[in-house]
Amino acid sequence: MMRHHHASSYLVRLAVAFLVTATVVELSFAQQPEQPSEKATEASGESPESSKAGADGDSKTASATATPESDGTTAEAPATEEPPPVKLPPPPPKVGPRVPFELQRYDVELPIVFEPSVKLGPAFRKSIIAEVRQLIDRSVGPMWKLKIEEPHWITPRNRTGLERLTSVGLKQRALELRFAQVVREQLAEYTKAKSPPEVVASPSDEPPAEEAEEKSAAEGDTPPPETPPKQEPFPVEADTPPSDARLAEIRQLLTITDNELLEPAIAEYVTKVASGKVAPETVATVSEVVYLYLTPPPVTVDKIFPVSVEVEGGSYIISAREWDRESELLTTVRTRTTIDRRTISLQILRLLGEVFRPITLIDEATPQTARIKYKAGEFPPGDPAFALAKKDAMYVPFFRYLDRNKVMQKLQFLPWSYITATNVERIRASCELATGVKTPLGSFKRRRMELRALALKPHTDQTTLTLVPKRNRTRPLVGYLVAVYDEIPPPPPEPGEEPKEDVPEREKPDIYRSDRFGNVTIPVDPNKALQWVFIRSGSSLLAKFPLVAGAERQMTVECPDDTIRLDVEGQIVLLQSRLVDTIAKQAMVKAMITNRVKKGEWKKVDESLKELDELATIQSFETLVSEIQYPALKKAEERGDRSSKGRIKKLGAAVLKIARIHLDQEKIDEFREDIIQQRQLDDPNAPRGKRAAPGRN
């Protein structure tokens, strides 16, 4: 009975709460003005203004009746504030399908400048450019995506202007031009997407214009909003290249590191490029895309070949060089001379074949071998001078470290390392690796790293090596021995070891000495491109590395700082001379004792045995070696020079090895015991004596 009472009371309270809630909800809806839809207004025949006025009056009456206040004002429901919408960043630019490395063509720029001369008029310059374009199309084919221009940014317009070019300057200009092109590409992409499609209505369904206006006036409708004009796609290519002022603006923009300043600067530049041809919303979106994903932009040009043509007397001098984007290396200026102006374009083609260095991808590597893949390998050229795959061709490996946007952040070459193609296929080649460093190529594979190799083309008749220590490049290494071998020689036999019969005889190397500037000039060997260089200081091998003479005019070789070892070696040499004297004196004393024993001169034998005991022992030489090594090892430890520490220990060990062989205390004690036994045989009453303790000085 009690359970039923509690249950009924609970139901009553629940019903009362429901009625109160319904009443409050009804009053709150009554306080809000009713907004009739346009479709409902048209059905009732009332104008939107009168309908809105009537609704406002009804809501005020209902509000005053429902909730009267003491001061006669009506209470309004509090308006709920909606949170501002969150603006999402635009999506990244569209990326096309990934193209295999062997199908990627070279993006080539060929700026040709002509020296001001009456022999090189405007018509003649245009004909030269047209002939060069035709020759390259015939000789190279689709392997190059060629762009030829006659620029104004190379000054003076001759070989001197080409020699003044730098890798940093060419890269900066390519970056500026790419940024200008990226902005135009994004404007073209977004205006193309935003262009509204045209909708054409059939004549039967479309009422006349006058009838539509009368019907709209009768119904009291507001006129429909005007349709925005169609937005034309923005042109990707500009009519004229960017001016110097525009490039200077881009250069200053790319130097900004503060994001709060960079974003408005990019927006201002995009607005200038759009020049009122693009809607403001599209300009804002493109500015944000460029700021988020394309600053700095990835440079797409692969090769730049600056060429100059000048007149000298009755001859024409053509000069050219190459800049490579992957390695950021700029070749030296190559020159050709002709007296026939009709062959200028052909000489330009020959120079391009000389300076062109193919780029390859290293996809497999071991400590001794590598396998490379040629860029644009599927587009073989018609001219052998531009051939990519050549047997015995040499390459220089290097590493490119990228960020998330595939923009290179760091470039690192593997020093004293060369790759030689041994087995050439159509788009691949198996190679041998010759290196002077211990780290193999395979250990460098990372996620955001590209392993590349650039073709090497020797162009000089000699190479000068400058020997300097690692920690002080201003101090040359004078008088160091440099041995040059055609092949890496086998290791020499150890002291006391007989040479093996199957090992070929060590060839005689070419010997050089570094001059007072630390320079050694090595000529090119026409029979062997790759040679091995051994640098020695005394008996110590400081460096061993391969070299392609003629690839560079001058190269700096950083050798270990050998001053600490030389100081130790000088003291060790003095100690060795002292050891030799001790060994010789010991042998002399032993021979004297043996001779006196035969004569029975036992008093003189005792004097000689006493002299033998006074000679230096192995323990004394170990102490002297420790005194020489300790300060030198401590100094090498402070410098972090592990190679010097190893050489210093090796010098001391060599001295102690000889000392332990000739100054063995056990052998001396055995000799003394033999003398005592012979004395006992001659004189049984003689004292037996005591065996000398080991370690006696």
> Among 139-148, 468-477, 505-514, 672-681, which is the least confidently predicted range?
672-681
Task: Say yes or no: 608 and 640 in one domain.
Answer: yes
Task: Say yes or no: 486 and 517 in one domain.
Answer: yes
Task: Say yes or no: 574 and 677 in one domain.
Answer: yes
Q: How far apart are CA 559 and CA 541, in angstroms?
A: 10
Q: How far apart are CA 87 and CA 84, in angstroms?
A: 9
The residue with greater pLDDT, 181 or 52, is 181
CB 566 within 8 A of CB 574: no
Task: Say yes or no: 475 and 523 in one domain.
Answer: yes
pLDDT classification of 692: cutoffs 50, 70, 90: very low
Strands 554-559 and 462-469: parallel
Three-state secondary structure along 327-384?
A: CCCECCCEEEEECCHHHHHHHHHHHHHHHCCCEEEEEEECCCEEEEEECCCCCCCCCH
The residue with greater pLDDT, 204 or 105, is 105
CB 298 within 8 A of CB 406: yes
Q: What is the mean pLDDT of residues 663-687?
A: 79
Strands 106-114 and 307-312: parallel
CA angle 502, 506, 510 (to 5 degrees): 165
In a domain, residue 585? The reply is yes
Q: What are the beta bridge partners of residue 543?
A: 535
Q: What is the mean pLDDT of residues 459-487?
A: 90
User: The tokens 């999506």 sit on which residue?
Assistant: 91
CB 142 within 8 A of CB 358: no
Helices 167-194 and 280-293 meet at what angle, rounded to 10? 140
Residue 596 scores a pLDDT above 50: yes
Task: Say yes or no: 642 and 666 in one domain.
Answer: yes
Q: Which of 237, 238, 250 is nearest to 296 (CA)?
A: 250
In a domain, residue 223? The reply is no
Structure tokens at 361: 């991808």
Query: φ, ψ for residue 647 (rounded to 5)?
Result: -70, -40
Cβ-count burial 91-105 (b if 16+ within 10 Å, e if not): eeeeeeeeeebbebb
The one-letter amino acid at 183: V
Alpha-helical segments (H) within 203-279: 209-219, 244-254, 259-274
Residue 687 scores a pLDDT above 80: no
- Structure confidence by residue, pLDDT tens digits, 525-559: 888 889 999 999 877 788 999 999 999 999 999 98
Three-class secondary structure of residue 120 per DSSP: coil
Share the mean pLDDT of the chain: 81
Q: How far apart are CA 576 and CA 591, in angstroms?
A: 23
Q: How far apart are CA 150 and CA 128, in angstroms?
A: 11
Task: Say yes or no: 608 and 667 in one domain.
Answer: yes
| Tally of domains within the chain | 4
Q: How much of the chain, in percent, has pLDDT values that exceed 90?
A: 45
> Among 55-64, 274-283, 670-679, which is the least confidently predicted range?
55-64
What CATH number has the domain bearing residue 523? 2.60.40.10
Three-state secondary structure along 582-622?
A: HHHHHHHHHHHHHHHHHHCCHHHHHHHHHHHHCCCCHHHHH
Structure tokens at 474: 């201003």
Helices (H) and strands (E) in the chain, counts: 16, 21
Structure tokens at 652: 């001391």
Task: Say yes or no: 568 and 557 in one domain.
Answer: no
Task: Say yes or no: 556 and 635 in one domain.
Answer: no
Q: How far apart are CA 475 and CA 62, in angstroms?
A: 100
Q: How far apart are CA 228 and CA 592, in angstroms?
A: 123
The one-letter amino acid at 611: E
Task: Say yes or no: 576 and 677 in one domain.
Answer: yes
- Structure confidence by residue, pLDDT tens digits, 295-326: 888 899 999 999 999 999 999 999 999 999 99
Q: How far apart are CA 64 and CA 553, in angstroms?
A: 100
What's CA 122's distance to the chain center, in Å? 42
Instruction: Give residue 615's pLDDT.
Output: 87
Task: Say yes or no: 576 and 672 in one domain.
Answer: yes
What CATH number has the domain bearing residue 438? 2.40.10
Structure tokens at 47: 């104008």
User: Of the candidates 18, 38, 66, which is a domain's last residue?
Assistant: 66
User: Of the candidates 33, 66, 99, which is a domain's last residue?
Assistant: 66
Q: Write the DSSP symbol of residue 416.
A: T
Residue 173 scores a pLDDT above 90: yes
In a domain, residue 638? The reply is yes
Three-class secondary structure of residue 90 per DSSP: coil
In a domain, residue 311? The reply is no
Which residues neighbour 9 within 8 Å (Cβ) at sequence distance 6 or greater?
A: none
In a domain, residue 476? The reply is yes
Instruction: Give residue 113's pLDDT.
Output: 97
CB 304 within 8 A of CB 165: no
Q: How far apart are CA 474 and CA 537, in angstroms?
A: 19
Q: What is the mean pLDDT of residues 266-293?
A: 92
CA angle 473, 475, 478 (to 5 degrees): 120
pLDDT classification of 37: cutoffs 50, 70, 90: very low
- Given 3-state DSSP classes, what are the helix, strand and coil percentages for the chain, each rounded to the nearest 5? 45, 20, 40
Q: What are the beta bridge partners of residue 547?
A: 531
Instruction: Give residue 433's pLDDT.
Output: 93
The residue with greater pLDDT, 651 or 196, is 651
- Structure confidence by residue, pLDDT tens digits, 402-423: 887 778 889 999 889 999 999 9
CB 358 within 8 A of CB 455: yes
Residue 230 scores a pLDDT above 70: no
User: The tokens 């169609």 sit on which residue?
Assistant: 230
CB 145 within 8 A of CB 106: yes
In a domain, residue 372? The reply is yes
- Structure confidence by residue, pLDDT tens digits, 564-590: 888 888 888 899 899 999 999 988 988
User: The tokens 């190397």 sit on which residue?
Assistant: 509
Instruction: Give residue 386's pLDDT.
Output: 96
CB 203 within 8 A of CB 152: no
CB 377 within 8 A of CB 426: yes
User: Of the candidates 498, 531, 561, which is a domain's last residue?
Assistant: 561
Which residues neighbour 233 within 8 Å (Cβ) at sequence distance 6 or greater?
A: 188, 191, 192, 195
User: The tokens 């004569």 sit on which residue?
Assistant: 599
Q: How far apart are CA 74 and CA 70, in angstroms?
A: 10
pLDDT classification of 134: cutoffs 50, 70, 90: very high
Task: Say yes or no: 578 and 677 in one domain.
Answer: yes
pLDDT classification of 508: cutoffs 50, 70, 90: confident
Q: How far apart are CA 284 and CA 265, in angstroms?
A: 12
Instruction: Give residue 688's pLDDT.
Output: 55
The one-letter amino acid at 322: E
Which residues neighbour 386 within 8 Å (Cβ) at sequence distance 6 or greater?
A: 139, 140, 143, 352, 353, 356
User: The tokens 């890798």 sit on which residue?
Assistant: 167
The residue with greater pLDDT, 232 or 306, is 306
> Among 108-117, 456-465, 543-552, 650-659, which is the least confidently predicted range?
650-659
Query: φ, ψ for residue 497 (rounded to 5)?
Result: -95, 135
> Among 9-23, 141-155, 213-227, which is the least confidently predicted range?
9-23
Instruction: Give residue 664's pLDDT.
Output: 85
Query: φ, ψ for residue 528 (rounded to 5)?
Result: -145, 115
Task: Say yes or no: 552 and 607 in one domain.
Answer: no
- Structure confidence by residue, pLDDT tens digits, 262-273: 999 999 999 999
Q: What is the mean pLDDT of residues 164-179?
A: 95
- Structure confidence by residue, pLDDT tens digits, 60-117: 433 333 333 444 444 444 555 666 666 677 888 877 788 999 999 999 999 999 999 9
Q: What is the mean pLDDT of residues 651-665?
A: 88
In a domain, residue 194? The reply is no
In a domain, residue 176? The reply is no
Q: What is the mean pLDDT of residues 612-635?
A: 89
Domain that residue 402 falls in? 358-455
